[in-house]
Amino acid sequence: MLRLAGVVLADVLSGSGPADAKLGSFFRQNRELGTKERAWIAESVYGVLRRKSFLAAMAGNEDPRRLLVAWLVKIQGGSLRELENMLNKQQTEWAQEIKAKSTDGLSAAEQADLPEWLWQRLEAQYGNEQALAIARSMHKPASLDLRVNLVKANRDEVMARFDTEKAGAELTPYSPTGIRMPQRMSISRHPLFMDGKIEVQDEGSQLLALLVAPRRGEMIADFCAGAGGKSLALGALMRNSGRLYAFDVSEKRLYNLGQRLKRSGLSNLYSQVISSENDPKLKRLNGKFNRVLVDAPCSGLGTLRRNPDLKWKQTPKDVEELTAKQASILARAAKLVKAGGRLIYATCSLLAEENEQLAEAFLAAHPQFQLVNAADVLAQQQVKLDTGAYLKLLPHQHETDGFFAAVFELKAASAAKNADQSAEIATSNVVVEEVAEPALVEAEVAEAEVAASKASKAKVTKPKVAKAKVSKPSAKTAKASECEVTDAEVAESAVTESAVTESKVTGTKASKVKASKTEVSEVESSEAEGSEAEISQTVASKPAAKSTKPRASKSAATKASATKPKTTKPKVAKDPV
């Protein structure tokens, strides 16, 4: 067993690929291993990764086998007699040397089990005492937190089920939808999970969704959606109404969202792959979202309880490159926010340069935005947690992953003065806000034609013809405007999220929309994306801007009618619109 653990540890320490992925690959190649054997290997590998700096000082070097022996002797407290049947002659000699070695004289970084550069930054930011407390809180594995899916269940119902099973479940202290499981269990096969009533999600991530505070009928964007954990939480908070878009540069990550979406019961979530934060497809969405969440790619140093290998892989240069990327993503996402809407920036990092410093730099460069007190927003969501103007979660204080979040609000007056967005926003107020769900688009176009005919009798000289008495949407009309929990210490499945990640998306046929010359032609998309193609075409053509004749309004309605999409079953969108 020690030999097998050494093989995996050597692979993880090689520097390429995350530890949980390498463990999963190893277990797939060694299916003869039992549950207990897998659990021991995973626990040993992660135990060394959490305490590698200290163990290397005790072992004398970073040889994987010596590190494992040091972990067994110094951390697990195993006696030489207990380890006799596990160790060979050479390993027994190592164990004797390590056991006799004093822990005196260790550096602060070795005591904290952090690389020297990271310890220096945390100490400068938090002070010696708190920095050490933060670092040591990362030595323990994270708890298993669950989020109750409000679309299908409530927390009392789920807790009652766990109580009958004597699972030891507890309510999370802050999130009103969270449940904490102190014991390790195979949650991926639990009936509640399979029915979509619960999802695996750290309480800190749940609080971030609550900080977005989405409302029913709004238009929301999850700009860096990943595998969609926060997207699913947002959709549940919206009670399956409005429209929620999950954008990401990774098609694979969005592909993995499909099975989770099917299980969740949500029908208001649409995913879209983008080439980068500057994808041309995003331009037509400027100024249309009530809320935009930017859970930016970051160092992930707040998740070291479940991803301890990150602290040995990240470097100061990596952080520098990440902060430049974060600033670029945040600046681009800001353009999607409508007047009075909010932009929420978040990371799972502990470093000020990725958090407070970047938020302050954004406000300095974008005076049209103002900071909203995070504690006030959470209080409105019935969450009693006050960490100041920013949301700042620390493992040793809140028993969550390390999280940071800032809420920015676009001032209405500033948005009106924004010349490059004002025309698009004015047009989209009619086109976007009055667009029904994809199945109702045909009826809406017919109503628009009637309204356009009436408008032709009046004198029209401005683009306001697009606003000509559009009938109110039906009850089904969307009022459009707006690092996941993993822990490979669990045997066999290692991570609940891994089971989700390996699932295949069961897609349905998407409708085909023939776009105008000013839009991308002949691409497959979901019904929601088909609606957006009509919106884009209407905005791009801008008939009223070219002529002052009343006939222009009728032309616009006729052109909109020509682009009616075929209504078929929706699916998770993967192709560009």
* Residues annotated as catalytic (active site), given as ranges: 348
Distance of CA 191 to the CA centre of its chain: 25
DSSP for 508-565 reads -PPPEE---TTS--SEE--HHHHHHHHHHHHHHH-HHHH--STHHHHHHHHHHHTTPP
Q: Give the N- to C-terminal CA distance of the chain in Å, as an integer.
A: 52
Q: Angle at Cα 424 formed by Cα 224 and Cα 440, nearest 5°?
A: 75
Decide if 294 contacts 330 (C-beta within 8 A).
yes
Comparing CA positions, the residue from 543, 542, 536 lying closest to residue 519 is: 536
Comparing CA positions, the residue from 421, 474, 472 lying closest to residue 448 is: 472
Decide if 423 contacts 463 (C-beta within 8 A).
yes
Decide if 215 contacts 290 (C-beta within 8 A).
yes
Q: Strand ranges (DSSP E) for 310-358?
A: 337-347
Q: Which amino acid is at 10?
A: A
Q: How far is CA 323 from CA 67, 78, 326, 406, 420, in A?
A: 34, 43, 5, 15, 27
Q: Six-digit token pair at 547?
A: 């002529």
Distance of CA 473 to the CA centre of its chain: 32
> What span, in angstroms and rounded, lies between the C-alpha atoms of 211 and 522?
38
Q: Strands 178-181 and 219-222, how do they pair?
A: unpaired
Comparing CA positions, the residue from 374, 279, 391 lying closest to residue 335 is: 279
Token pair 């809407």 is found at 341
Comparing CA positions, the residue from 199, 148, 201 lying closest to residue 485 is: 201
